Amino acid sequence: MQVGIIGLPTAGKTTLFNILTGARAQTHRYGAEKKEANIGVARVPDARLDWLSELYTPRKTTPATIDFVDVAGLVPGEAKGAGFAPSLLSALRTVDALIHVVRAFPDDELPHPAGSINPQRDVDELALELTFADLAVVEKRLEKLPLDVQRKRGAEQVEAQRELELMGRCRSALDAGTALRDLELSEDEKRVLKGYTFLSLKPLLVVLNIGEDQIAAPPQVSTDSLALSAQVESDIAEMPAEERPEFLAALGLEEAARDRVIRFAYDSLGLQSFFTVGEDEVRAWTITRGDTAVTAASKIHSDIARGFIRAEVVAYEKMRELGTWNAAREKAALRLEGKEYVMQDGDCVNFRFSV
């Protein structure tokens, strides 16, 4: 799972990236942003994993992780559709989701690239850039597809015809400034679009980077957003762990930005975790909501999916209630599930398989 962090220079992207991953990538105050991307890994905080780890005291505890990529290169105020440098575009194509960091904090000594602080404007402009980038791809495809429809026969022709219609719908939406993620699409259509790595199809989270004075009443934007002060949170992250809660509480915050952003990303992406437990390792694995037991098994190893016999499942709450795996078995809280079982968030699983 890879999430790209984008936004204008000085928005606080690298500061946020450092908070999320614990890296110390260089932020910048003067001069241009460096062009290379920063790449780092964030552990997904999960109190359930902590509890399971205390129960088993395994040799190793492995949390779920999300990769974050802090991509520089967004050029503000250029001709429409030219806002993305080609290197940025190609970096963005491969990520699963986007976080748009929008600057809301004032700082007279640090000019905003557009000359003023206006979060809604920045939100709208980036959304528009994403649709422009996708429109270019759709139009190129629309030049070729009619020819395919003419030349192909049978099932291939039907397929080309369908794609032509779908691309037409995409063009109308994008022309009107609508992101592709807002289209109603069938599963089949989603599969077709997936191959194009459209940017406006990716889940997009807006993070408003606010100043310390704005924490009590953050500015509002029209999209779903999460407000945080990257600078303040970065200072708190530097403190000894035992002092952090007090400072967070003084700011009226329950948990650090790191945890809030990661949880927000996890939820918006429709992700959830299942656990494998044992004395060797207690581990959280990431799956998508709706994934079946055999898909979950494949995350661990393709052999387990191939030789799948059944899944022994204990819901996390049952583990909590009954205390151990064996107690769960005795109290009939352990379920035997087949390949098509739809995994529930927090399932503790032991896969039976043979290869």
Phi, psi at residue 205, to the nearest 5°?
-110, 130
Site string for ligand GDP, 148-187 (x = CB under 6 A): ----------------------------------------
- Restricting to residues 14-33, which ones interact with ligand GDP according to CB under 6 A? 14-15, 27-29, 33
Our CB check for Mg ion shows the closer of 14 and 229 to be 14
Sheet containing 308-314: order of strands: 60-62, 281-288, 271-276, 348-353, 308-314, 335-337
Q: How crowded is residue 151: how many other Cβ atoms within 10 Å of its Cβ?
A: 10
211 binds, among ligand GDP, Mg ion, none (CB under 5 to 8 A by kind): ligand GDP
Cα–Cα distance, 136 to 138 (Å, whole number): 6
Among 5, 11, 12, 14, which residue interacts with Mg ion (rule: CB under 5 A)? 14
Based on the shown chain and the rule CB under 6 A, indicate whether residue 230 belongs to the binding site for ligand GDP.
Answer: yes
Q: Coil, strand or helix: which one is 169?
A: helix
38 near ligand GDP (CB under 6 A): no
DSSP 76: T
Per rule CB under 6 A, is residue 231 in the interface with ligand GDP?
A: yes
Residue 13 or residue 283: which is nearer to ligand GDP going by CB?
Answer: 13
d(CA 310, CA 66): 28
Structure tokens at 288: 């998508």
CA distance linking residue 140 with residue 315, whole number of Å: 49
* Sole window of 117-125, 228-236, 300-308, 346-354 interacting with ligand GDP (rule: CB under 6 A): 228-236
Q: Closest CB to Mg ion among 37 and 313?
A: 37
* Closest distance to Mg ion from the beta carbon of 132 (Å): 23
Measured in degrees and rounded to the nearest 5, phi and psi for residue 27 equal: -85, 170
| Contacts to ligand GDP by CB under 6 A | 7, 9-15, 27-29, 33, 105, 107, 110, 209, 211, 229-231
